[in-house]
Amino acid sequence: MTAAYVALEGGHVLEGRGRASGTARGELVFTTAYTGYEESLTDPSYEEQILTFSYPLIGNYGVREERFEDDRVHPRAVLAKELTEDVANWLETEGVPAVDHLDTRDVVTDIRDGGAMKCGIAVGEDATEEDALEQLEQCKAMSDHTDIGAQVSVDEPTVYGADNDGETVALVDCGAKGSIVDSLLARDATVHVLPYDAAVSDVEAADPDILFISNGPGDPANYEQAIALVEAFVEDTPVAGICLGQQIVAEALGGTTAKMDFGHRGVNQPVLDLDSGQVVMTTQNHGYTVDEPGDYLEVTQINVNDDTPEGLDGVDHDIITRQYHPEANPGPEDTLDFFDSVLGMASNTSQRAVPADD
C-alpha cells in the first residue's frame, strides 16, 4: 500500500491509502455532490484547493472527457472514502495526488468546525508525515494567491460562434467553466472569451451586447482588472455574472464580499426567489459571498439554509448575477433560463439611469 499523509492546519496528520502520488498543498474544502465528479474535478474554481468528496464512492461510472469542464484537473489534490481505479488512474496521469480510505465524515466535521483550512499532502512509496507537514508549512492563504486568474484564464481573446445570429457576449474568463460558453452558444450567441485581465480596449474590440464575468478561483478582491471593467461598462452595457462574477460585480458597484466559514459546495443547495416565492435546487462551489450588495444592486434570491445572497439585479442598471451555477454540470438544470434572461437584457430598450453623483 502506498503511504499517504494529510496534514491539517494545526498540525494533526491523517493517514490514508495513496491512490495517486505526489505532494500538494491547498485550501481544504468539501463538496456534498453525490454525482458529477468529472465536472467538479475539471472546474477551474477549485484551483489551489484540496477537494474532499463527502459522498463515499467516487468514480463508479468511469471517466469521460465529454463531461469535462476544462482540459485539466484543477484541485491540487483529492480526498475520498473510496476512489475507483478509473479515477485514481486519471489523477495519477494528471499528476494530482489522491488519498482514499479516509474517514471523510471526520474530515468534513473538521472543516465544518474549523472552516476551510490549509492542508498539506504527501503520497508515495517513500512519503512521510514530515513531507505532508512541510507542504502545510508552505501553504498560502487563498487571499494571498493574488494573481490566481493567470493560472486559469485564456492567454488571448478567443471567439466562439462567430457565425451565430444572436447577441454578442464578452465573457471575461476568470476560470470559466465550459458549460457557460456552451449555454450561450446554445442560445445562438457569439462569445468572445477574454483574458481575466482584459483591458477596456479588449472589451471594446469585441463590441459586446453583454459584459459577462465568469466563475473562477480565489478571492474576488484580487481581480482588480475585471472589477475595473464592470465599472467602465456598466453605464452603457448590460452586465451578467456567475459565482465569482457576482462577487466581482458587487465589488465594482460599492458592495462588499466576505469569506464564508466553509462555503457552499454541492448539487442540492436550495435557493428562494424572493419575487416568485419559488425554491430551486442549485449547484454551488464557492467560499466567498457578497456581504453587502451596496446601493446599485438588490438581492433577488437567497440561500434557504443561511440567507446569503444568491441572485442580484441592478437597481437602475441592466445587471443580473447568480452566486450558484445556472449552467449546472454537475447538478440540476432547473436554472438554465438564467441565460435567456441575460441575453434578453440586450434587447431591453429602457433608458439606463446613471447613478447619482454623491
Instruction: Work out which of 287, 294, 311, 330 binds ligand GLN, going by CB under 6 A.
Output: 287
Q: Which three cell numbers stand for residue 280?
A: 430551486
244 is in an annotated binding site: yes
* Residue 289 Cβ vs ligand GLN, minimum distance, rounded to whole Å: 7
By the rule CB under 6 A, 264 interacts with ligand GLN: no
Phi/psi region, residue 59 (left: phi>0; alpha: psi -120 to 50; beta: rest), is left
Instruction: Work out which of 215, 269, 283, 329 binds ligand GLN, going by CB under 6 A.
Output: 215
241 is in an annotated binding site: no
User: Is 243 part of the annotated catalytic residue set?
Assistant: yes
User: Is 66 part of the annotated catalytic residue set?
Assistant: no
> Which stretch in 50-58, 125-133, 283-291, 294-302 sits in contact with ligand GLN by CB under 6 A?
283-291
What distance in Å separates the CA atoms of residue 102 and residue 314, rounded to the nearest whole number? 45
| Residues sharing a CB contact under 8 Å with residue 119, sequence separation 6 or more, in sequence order | 6, 7, 8, 9, 25, 26, 27, 28, 50, 77, 136, 139
What distance in Å separates the CA atoms of residue 27 and residue 31, rounded to the nearest whole number? 13
Instruction: Work out which of 122, 172, 181, 244 binds ligand GLN, going by CB under 6 A.
Output: 244
- For 220, which DSSP code? G
Which residue among the candidates 38, 167, 243, 286 is catalytic per the annotation? 243
By the rule CB under 6 A, 76 interacts with ligand GLN: no
Question: One symbol per residue from 20 to 49: x for binding ligand GLN (CB under 6 A), - otherwise; what is it?
Answer: -------------------------x----
By the rule CB under 6 A, 269 interacts with ligand GLN: no
Element housing 288 (H / E): strand 279-292
By the rule CB under 6 A, 178 interacts with ligand GLN: no
By the rule CB under 6 A, 286 interacts with ligand GLN: yes
Cell 477551474, located at residue: 44
Which residue among the candidates 145, 286, 317, 325 is catalytic per the annotation? 325
351 is in an annotated binding site: no
Q: Is residue 270 within 8 Å of residue 279, measured between CB atoms?
A: yes
By the rule CB under 6 A, 218 interacts with ligand GLN: yes
Number of residues lying near ligand GLN (CB under 6 A): 11
Q: Which three cell numbers stand for residue 134?
A: 512541510
Give the residues across from 49 on adjacent strands. Answer: 27
By the rule CB under 6 A, 243 interacts with ligand GLN: yes
Q: What Rg value do the Cα atoms of the chain yield, rounded?
A: 20
Find the distance separating the first CA and the last CA of the chain, reported in whole Å.
66
* Residue 14 Cβ vs ligand GLN, minimum distance, rounded to whole Å: 24
What distance in Å separates the CA atoms of residue 85 and residue 89, rounded to the nearest whole number? 6
Which residue, 5 or 30, is less far from ligand GLN as judged by CB? Answer: 30
What distance in Å separates the CA atoms of residue 106 and residue 116, rounded to the nearest whole number? 14
User: Is 327 part of the annotated catalytic residue set?
Assistant: yes
287 is in an annotated binding site: yes
Which residue, 135 or 285, is less far from ligand GLN as judged by CB? Answer: 285
* Residue 347 Cβ vs ligand GLN, minimum distance, rounded to whole Å: 27
Question: One symbol per residue from 86 to 115: x for binding ligand GLN (CB under 6 A), - otherwise; what is it?
Answer: ------------------------------
Task: Please report, as ranges, the residues that interact with ligand GLN according to CB under 6 A.
Answer: 45, 215-218, 243-244, 285-288
Residues carrying an active site annotation: 243, 325, 327
List binding-site positions for L-glutamine.
Answer: 45, 216, 218, 244, 247, 285, 287-288
